[in-house]
Amino acid sequence: MKPRWIFVALSVGLFSCSPDSQNAKEDQNTENASQEEVSNKLSLDLVKKRLPHMLDYKLGAEAFPRSMEPTGEVRQVPSKDWTSGFYPGSLLFLSQLTDNDQYLNKAQSWLPHIEKEQYNDKTHDMGFKVYCSIGNAYRLTNNEEYASVIIKSAETLSTRFNENVGAIKSWDFGKNKWTFPVIIDNMMNLELLFEATKLSGDSSFYRIADSHASVTLQNHFRSNNSSYHVIDYDPNTGEVVNKLTHQGLNTESSWARGQAWGLYGFTMAYRYTQNESYLAQAEAIAAFITDHPRLSADKIPYWDFDDPQIPDAPRDASAAAVIASALMELATYSSTSHEYYEQQASLILETLSSEDYVLDENKNVPFILNHSTGNMPKNDEVDVPMSYADYYFLEALLRKGVKL
């Protein structure tokens, strides 16, 4: 497979409407027109009041902030946790959003504690951990030491690629449930591979990322363009063995953050490859989300679109933040629908920036947003602040071009 050497700048994206989604958009014109002025006057006053807590959190090698416990204490995790990169990544975004080097310096003090993850071959989450932190640091500083970590991380992640399947294995646990699980979340780790090819000139990383996206496109999606969470493959033949969920309501339900990962992942994959099929899938996922009858008026999805407890089911601010960031990129690819996607993203950001979702300014924890849902089936991290909600929220603000 010969790589297509086309790389596009960070803040780009696209979405064109199917006939059905276009009709739905026309039906919403009146509502959208009334909301447009509000969405273009984003108030970030409450967000700004949270920022000192992002700087105040003390450095600790085994204390990356992940979420908040029911007791109000910070749930702290080591670098091997899939969420470790989001807090330093958020600090790096804040350095751009505020033009304040304190955030950059704080972020860089955490990065040495993540660098050892470049050798960790027990996980697919190399992009989340390394690229969201060290990758962003390289983007801002051009420090070649960070570049070498990115390349080594890509080499390590590549060891999980199976040629028969054409994809990267996600998990080593759960051997009684699956043999070669590939989760929709894994799309998010491909950016590290694409960037490693840019940095090293080694096209094998690009080939693996492109293959993984292609296989995911082929097998992960239902006819309505919603995504399964887990696809189990036979590692010897590459055949699909089973379709499952791990964090959704059930196998056939639409777990909200999973849909968000798919939207973001295929938008990003198009950025690097210019593969029109990836763009078309991003468009289709965006239509599924933004036109969904169970998407609430404030645009913040419930944790699973099929939860029978809606409207009393928990929301997921993290899914909303990922969707907003993805839509901001996707909009820049579209000549016909860019205003719609920018508007939808802006409406999400307006809600997330309100008192309904921003933590109280006096809560002394290194988080900005509340009301995310981690693993509802396990009743773990339900309706709490999350480091990755903040990360994608701040990235969406950066892509929107605002300042804090």
Q: 185 catalytic, yes or no?
A: yes
Distance CA 97, CA 114 (A): 23
Distance CA 345, CA 331 (A): 9
Q: 356 catalytic, yes or no?
A: no
Q: Which of 125, 291, 304, 316 is catalytic?
A: 125
User: What are the start-end ranges of the H helices in 65-125?
Assistant: 86-98, 101-110
- DSSP 3-state of 285: helix
The letter for the amino acid at 266 is: F
Q: Which own/partner pairs from 295-302 qualify as long-range (CB within 8 Å, at least 24 positions apart)?
A: 298/347, 298/351, 298/356, 299/344, 299/347, 299/348, 299/351, 300/348, 300/351, 300/352, 300/357, 300/371, 301/256, 301/259, 301/260, 302/256
Contact 303, 313 (CB under 8 A): yes
Place of tokens 């995504």: 227
Contact 305, 291 (CB under 8 A): no
- DSSP 3-state of 126: helix
- In order of 26, 33, 42, 92, 292, the CA distances from 36 in angstroms are 15, 5, 11, 30, 20
Q: Which of 185, 232, 307, 390 is catalytic?
A: 185
Which residues partner with 372 through β-bridges?
384
Distance CA 360, CA 357 (A): 9
Torsion 271-97-289-319 (CA) sign: positive
For β-strands 167-168 and 180-183, DSSP reports them as unpaired
Question: Active-site residues: which are they?
Answer: 125, 185
